[in-house]
Chain A
């Protein structure tokens, strides 16, 4: 197989996934507690707001469209964050939640939402513009705190497995602190936090979508600038340094970027498990390639598609309410990871 042939094949695969993505997106607009017809969706999308049925317009433009876009952004962002961390640690189990970064975000949000109530004595309203900024900041600070701790430990633990174990322990500690914060919190705050913790793509209205998409798209775009360094890191840090890479700076950039993506997304959607872990594996196994020039766009597309798929499953037609998205992504993501690990065993022995 010549490399031109291979490139063409991979481009075709990317195209197929893009088509899938579009189909899933449209399906997300159709299905829900109210199933719409093709004509309805078409009408709303093509006509002026005033000219179409206000109920249908509202369902699509104010609920389903933002929800689908949120799912796509979250899926892409978490998938790329997972890819970055897996490459950095050269460990297939690295992902934002396992390293404790998501737990850090939770801790930040818990301290803000629960702490505010405990300190002021009444339940806080975080639905406003300022409240959202507050949650984003809290989530981001919490994630960054854990990131800094992990980076600090990373300097002293040369072994990546040790670092991973340390990350898991940090996640436990953050979880324990969240538990303490819960214990001392107001009932209303607690409910708000628990709901946030179940994850949801539907909490982002059209107005807040700007912040989520701004942050996520900026992070995704930056990840495209890291393609060459990421490839070099596949060889190991020493080889990468010998090829002219400033390893220390790159490490910090990768940790920061993956932390940033996780923090922004987690702030708006709550913790979403397994997308960051499963999607990069899916991308590698579909494309059978390690080159990040393929893996980064593939993770973006597959992450968006898988998140849309999970969102569909969460709102299976016939149900009045939707399932918590965090549970759905776990139910779908975990088997994918197991399947890949089982497949991996044969990879060492078979040649292609």
Chain B
């Protein structure tokens, strides 16, 4: 199967001055195939947006090649490119009387004639695109009156109506609330599955991408772009390296970032799955460290309704996560004052 998109030693960035050019990251070589669902992640300012805009042909590359269906990107006219790549950006049209349906219909523009008159089949595709994104009921609404999430879906429906094999989204989850983000990921995944398109999106929301995508591209300033399955990148420690920030580290056990703490009381928690998870959460928030050692001095056993703290041969029974945390903090405070 030939790849939809191929990057060969691509260098991205903005020309620093007339003579010197400054590439943001070392040359990138990659392939994207039909049905790929890819997240491009990295800290802010590492060049995610620049890479996506370069691939979409919005800004020129510094060096290297971008091949769309085995042909260089530059060899396509603007009209031909419109049939191969569609984009969804963070910016929205702000026109007062632009209706959701008009926006989606413009996705058909590369396919239709000079006057922009749509055939019945074009109108059908527009309706279907809106249906797929779950926004059929917003048809006659003005874009400015929609919520961020609804507007985002409208722009995605536009990209869908454009019917290109590759869709690129720049920070699509940026302005959405958390359930909105999950819903978006589900929608994109569904589109990849049913239409067999390739989708690449950028996001600095690592939590979200780890649980959503099949393939992750990681970028960090000046480092080579690494790719892999999310799980591989976590286990190999790449995530930690690529999101390097003082005082923070990625906890592979929890699947998110926690403040790095070198000192703190070690607590071993075992027992009922859900309660243990949220007790961990509370303990970390209060500065305790989680231990994997069952012989730890501080030990909490969780059951559905009760928590039993064991410390220096004594047992304390608590009924809420809050009281466990309080009790542990009290025990630690006593320990400090007695020593």
* B-binding residues in A (CB < 8 A): 1, 3, 90, 225, 227-228, 231-232, 234-236, 238-239, 241-246, 284, 287-291, 293, 344, 347-348, 350-352
Q: Which residues of B contact A352 (CB under 8 A)?
A: 140-142, 145
Q: Which residues of A contact B141 (CB under 8 A)?
A: 351-352
Q: Which residues of B contact A235 (CB under 8 A)?
A: 93, 103, 106
Let me know if B87 and A227 touch, CB within 8 A.
Answer: no
**Which residue of the partner chain, among B79, B93, B115, contacts A244 with CB atoms under 8 Å?**
B79
The complex places the Cα of A242 from the Cα of B93 at a distance, in Å, of 14
Let me know if B78 and A90 touch, CB within 8 A.
Answer: no
Is B37's CB within 8 Å of the partner chain A?
A: no
- The interface size bin for chain B is 35 or more
- Quote the shortest CB–CB distance from B160 to chain A (angstroms): 14
Is B94's CB within 8 Å of the partner chain A?
A: yes
**Which residue of the partner chain, among A227, A238, A350, A351, contacts B116 with CB atoms under 8 Å?**
A227
- Quote the shortest CB–CB distance from A49 to chain B (angstroms): 42
Q: Which residues of B contact A236 (CB under 8 A)?
A: 89, 91, 93
* A-binding residues in B (CB < 8 A): 56-58, 77-83, 85-87, 89, 91, 93-99, 101-103, 106-107, 109-110, 114-116, 123, 140-142, 144-145, 158, 162
Let me know if A244 and B95 touch, CB within 8 A.
Answer: no
Check A231/B106 contact, CB under 8 A, given A242-B87, A244-B81. Answer: yes
The complex places the Cα of A259 from the Cα of B83 at a distance, in Å, of 33
Q: Which residues of B contact A287 (CB under 8 A)?
A: 97
Check A242/B102 contact, CB under 8 A, given A344-B96, A351-B145. Answer: no
The complex places the Cα of A323 from the Cα of B180 at a distance, in Å, of 60
**Which residue of the partner chain, among B56, B78, B82, B97, contacts A288 with CB atoms under 8 Å?**
B97
Let me know if B89 and A290 touch, CB within 8 A.
Answer: no
The complex places the Cα of A284 from the Cα of B80 at a distance, in Å, of 32
The complex places the Cα of A244 from the Cα of B57 at a distance, in Å, of 11
Q: Which residues of A contact B91 (CB under 8 A)?
A: 236, 238
The complex places the Cα of A344 from the Cα of B142 at a distance, in Å, of 13
Q: Which residues of A contact B98 (CB under 8 A)?
A: 234, 290
Let me know if A90 and B85 touch, CB within 8 A.
Answer: no
Let me know if B78 and A246 touch, CB within 8 A.
Answer: yes
Let me know if A284 and B97 touch, CB within 8 A.
Answer: yes
Q: Which residues of B contact A242 (CB under 8 A)?
A: 56, 58, 81-82, 85-87
- Quote the shortest CB–CB distance from B13 to chain A (angstroms): 18
Check A291/B96 contact, CB under 8 A, given A228-B116, A351-B142, A352-B140. Answer: no
Given contacts A228-B109, A242-B85, 20 further A-B contacts (CB under 8 A): A90-B94, A231-B102, A232-B106, A232-B109, A235-B106, A236-B89, A236-B93, A241-B78, A242-B56, A284-B97, A287-B97, A290-B98, A291-B102, A347-B96, A347-B142, A347-B145, A348-B144, A351-B141, A351-B142, A352-B142
**Which residue of the partner chain, among A90, A227, A241, contacts B58 with CB atoms under 8 Å?**
A241
Q: Which residues of B contact A291 (CB under 8 A)?
A: 102
**Which residue of the partner chain, among B80, B85, B95, B114, contacts A228 with CB atoms under 8 Å?**
B114
What are the nearest 9 A-B pairs in CB distance? A244-B82, A244-B79, A228-B116, A290-B97, A290-B98, A244-B110, A351-B145, A242-B87, A235-B93
- Quote the shortest CB–CB distance from A314 to chain B (angstroms): 31
Let me know if A238 and B58 touch, CB within 8 A.
Answer: yes
- Quote the shortest CB–CB distance from B82 to chain A (angstroms): 3
**Which residue of the partner chain, among A90, A241, A246, contacts B95 with CB atoms under 8 Å?**
A90
Q: Which residues of A contact B158 (CB under 8 A)?
A: 239
Q: Which residues of A contact B162 (CB under 8 A)?
A: 243
The complex places the Cα of A228 from the Cα of B115 at a distance, in Å, of 6
Q: Which residues of B contact A348 (CB under 8 A)?
A: 144-145
For A288, give the chain B residue with the smallest CB separation. Answer: B97
Check A227/B86 contact, CB under 8 A, given A232-B106, A290-B95. Answer: no
Let me know if B140 and A1 touch, CB within 8 A.
Answer: yes
Let me know if A290 and B79 touch, CB within 8 A.
Answer: no
The complex places the Cα of A129 from the Cα of B133 at a distance, in Å, of 63
Q: Which residues of B contact A1 (CB under 8 A)?
A: 140
Q: What are some 25 contacts across the A-B interface (CB < 8 A)?
A: A3-B101, A3-B123, A90-B93, A227-B115, A232-B106, A234-B93, A234-B98, A235-B93, A241-B57, A241-B78, A242-B85, A242-B87, A243-B106, A243-B107, A244-B77, A244-B81, A244-B83, A289-B99, A290-B96, A290-B98, A293-B116, A348-B145, A350-B145, A351-B142, A352-B142
- Quote the shortest CB–CB distance from A10 to chain B (angstroms): 12
The complex places the Cα of A287 from the Cα of B114 at a distance, in Å, of 23
Let me know if A231 and B116 touch, CB within 8 A.
Answer: yes
- Quote the shortest CB–CB distance from B140 to chain A (angstroms): 6
The complex places the Cα of A246 from the Cα of B162 at a distance, in Å, of 17
Q: Which residues of B contact A234 (CB under 8 A)?
A: 93, 95, 98
Let me know if A243 and B96 touch, CB within 8 A.
Answer: no
**Which residue of the partner chain, among B78, B97, B103, contacts A289 with CB atoms under 8 Å?**
B97
The complex places the Cα of A232 from the Cα of B112 at a distance, in Å, of 13
Let me know if B89 and A239 touch, CB within 8 A.
Answer: yes
**Which residue of the partner chain, among A3, A238, A244, A347, contacts B109 with CB atoms under 8 Å?**
A244
For A228, give the chain B residue with the smallest CB separation. Answer: B116
Check A243/B109 contact, CB under 8 A, given A1-B140, A238-B89, A347-B96. Answer: yes
Which among A1, A232, A238 has the greatest number of chain B C-beta atoms within 10 A?
A: A238
- Quote the shortest CB–CB distance from B51 to chain A (angstroms): 15
Check A243/B116 contact, CB under 8 A, given A288-B97, A290-B96. Answer: no
For A234, give the chain B residue with the smallest CB separation. Answer: B95
Q: Which residues of B contact A231 (CB under 8 A)?
A: 102, 106, 109, 116
The complex places the Cα of A290 from the Cα of B141 at a distance, in Å, of 13
Q: Which residues of A contact B142 (CB under 8 A)?
A: 347, 351-352
The complex places the Cα of A234 from the Cα of B82 at a distance, in Å, of 17
For A244, give the chain B residue with the smallest CB separation. Answer: B82
Q: Which residues of B contact A3 (CB under 8 A)?
A: 101, 123
Q: Which residues of B contact A228 (CB under 8 A)?
A: 109, 114-116
Q: Which residues of A contact B83 (CB under 8 A)?
A: 244
Q: Which residues of A contact B93 (CB under 8 A)?
A: 90, 234-236, 239
